[in-house]
């Protein structure tokens, strides 16, 4: 039986997973955890969701593939996870502020975070740096006309976790990303539409700053 089909966003998330035990926070249908197990990315997974109905979908998907090395826990954020129980966690499908709130009390033992925020990504990057977490990958993928930032962060230890202005606003390694030029063009179109609000709108101010950074490097 083939593994569940993943869209481009979830494919990028699964490809970024490294560890022994995965926590999939806000797992919804459970595709990330199930695919990570089927592909040998991890040995065990814990699928968590605040919605019992969503968790039921994940349970059924795991049954379809005969997986017995996955646990299911209903709860808010990382609260169902114990210290030193997992070493990799995925948090996707929510805003950056929600992700930051979840990470404000992170269990011990988590060495890698895979994060996908649909807004407030700049603030999320600042938060990770302030917590001594090193962003080792930060790239964009396009799926159904939308762009998603995929951020992978690890324990900082002796690494320099500070971000340059470009990394803060645009992430790392973007120039090599296949969808980078499309992403910049989408931002430019949005910036042009919001030009008259550049001194009032928060989004317009951010876009203005992004293109100041881009233009400086051309």
Give pLDDT tens digits for 63-80: 999 999 999 999 999 999
**Closest listed residue to residue 117, CA positions, set 93, 153, 144:** 93
Q: Do 21 and 86 meet the contact criterion of CB atoms below 8 Å apart?
A: yes
Phi, psi of 115 (to 5 degrees): -120, 140
Beta strands 70-74; 112-117: pairing state? unpaired
pLDDT band of 101, cuts 50, 70, 90: very high
Q: CA torsion sign, 130 to 131 to 136 to 139?
A: negative
Phi, then psi, of 91 in degrees rounded to 5: -130, 110
Beta strand spans in 38-101 (E):
44-49, 70-74, 88-94
Q: What's the average model confidence in pLDDT over 118-134?
A: 95
Number of Cβ within a 10 Å radius of residue 69: 11
Question: Is CATH 3.40.50.150 the classification given to domain 8-166?
Answer: yes
Mean pLDDT of 200-205: 81
In sequence order, which residues have a C-beta less than 8 Å from that of residue 50 and are 6 or more positions away? 26, 74, 75, 76, 77
Residue 200 has what pLDDT?
Answer: 67
Domain limits, the chain = 8-166, 179-218
CA distance 34 to 67: 8
Beta bridge partners of 138: 151
Q: Evaluate if residue 20 carries a pLDDT over 90.
A: yes
């Amino acid at each position: 039986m083939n593994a569940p089909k993943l869209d481009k966003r979830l494919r990028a998330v699964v490809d970024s997973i490294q560890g022994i035990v995965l926590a999939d926070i806000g797992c919804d249908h459970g595709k990330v955890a199930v695919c990570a197990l089927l592909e040998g990315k991890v040995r065990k997974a814990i699928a968590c969701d605040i919605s019992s109905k969503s968790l039921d979908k994940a349970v059924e998907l795991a049954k379809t593939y005969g997986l017995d090395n996955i646990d299911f826990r209903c709860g808010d954020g990382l609260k169902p996870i114990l210290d030193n129980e997992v070493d990799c966690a995925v948090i996707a499908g929510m805003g950056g502020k929600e992700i930051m709130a979840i990470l404000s009390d992170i269990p011990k033992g988590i060495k890698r975070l895979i994060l996908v925020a649909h807004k407030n990504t700049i603030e999320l990057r600042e938060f990770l740096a302030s917590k001594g977490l090193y962003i080792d990958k930060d790239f964009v993928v396009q799926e159904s006309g939308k762009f998603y930032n995929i951020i992978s962060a690890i324990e900082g230890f002796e690494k320099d976790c500070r971000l340059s202005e470009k990394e803060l606003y645009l992430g790392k390694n973007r120039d090599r990303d296949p969808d980078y030029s499309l992403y910049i063009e989408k931002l430019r179109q949005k910036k042009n539409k919001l030009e008259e609000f550049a001194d009032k709108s928060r989004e317009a101010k951010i876009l203005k700053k992004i293109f100041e950074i881009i233009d400086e490097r051309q």
